[in-house]
Amino acid sequence: MLLFPAIDLKEGKAVRLLQGRMEDSTVYADDPVGVAKNFEGQGASHLHVVDLNGAFSGKPVNDEVIRKIVGSVSLKVQVGGGIRTMERITELLELGVERVILGTIAVKDPELVAEAARRYGERIIVGIDALGGRVAVQGWAEATEMQAVDLAQAMKDVGVKHIVFTDIARDGMLSGPNIESTVRLAQETGINVIASGGISTLEDVRHLQAEHLRGVPIEGAITGKALYSGAFTLKEALEAANYNPQLKITGSRGE
């Protein structure tokens, strides 16, 4: 299972929000590029980046920082936040971003997502953010009546292969991810799911990895605040994401 350390960008700085509220932000680093290099040095292969300003305003704000991150590390970087036109999708991919995450337009303009999936294949991810099972858009500021599982199925039907699923109530709270909802969504749709929101312990990561091992299409997990707060190290999280109890030798056999 893949492990995605996260960098959320607000006005050029690495921050974390509580339940997606811009007014409840904590600055963790003035140098996001340095954070990305640190993650790479600890063994990461992938990176999850969100332009929070873009998510709320629908306009790119942190492109210069994103450009520097992509140019400074060999990590496979996926970027989301305010990506709502084909021109913007193309712009980010040409910048060197590995995959782009489309959120609001999956609800507002599904035909654009379908066209992006046809054009760019697996480089297109859809981000589904839910509160009480219902999808929220516009940087989580606007609730809808659409069920997360219905949106995931609709996106799969138009050719999307991967989604990032976030339970807003858990995000940034260190209260544990909503594994039950994540697993149910993955099982009901069969789409590859990256779990996001609330990971607080290594056991959370191992639990998701266990579901991955038993065939549930959970592709990976995103962790942010737990890393920044020191709940565990990235090295420990990477080990948990690759944990396989079947390979663990117990007892005295062979000794």
Number of H helices, E strands in the chain: 11, 12
Q: How far is the C-alpha of 90 from the C-alpha of 94, rounded, in Å?
A: 6
> Which amino acid does the sequence have at 200?
S
Question: Is 129 among the residues known to form the active site?
Answer: yes
Q: Among residues 8, 51, 171, 204, which one is catalytic?
A: 8
Question: Is 8 among the residues known to form the active site?
Answer: yes
Please list, in sequence order, all residues whose beta carbon lies within 8 angstroms of the beta carbon of residue 219, skipping any fewer than 6 positions away: 1, 2, 162, 192, 193, 194, 212
3-state secondary structure of 223: strand
3-state secondary structure of 200: coil
Distances 147 to 26, 31, 110, 135, 144 between C-alpha atoms, Å: 30, 37, 15, 6, 8
Query: What does the angle CA 68 – CA 121 – CA 106 come to, to the nearest 5 degrees?
Result: 85
Q: Among residues 51, 129, 167, 171, which one is catalytic?
A: 129
Q: How far is the C-alpha of 63 from the C-alpha of 12, rounded, in Å?
A: 9
Instruction: Name the residues annotated as catalytic.
Output: 8, 129
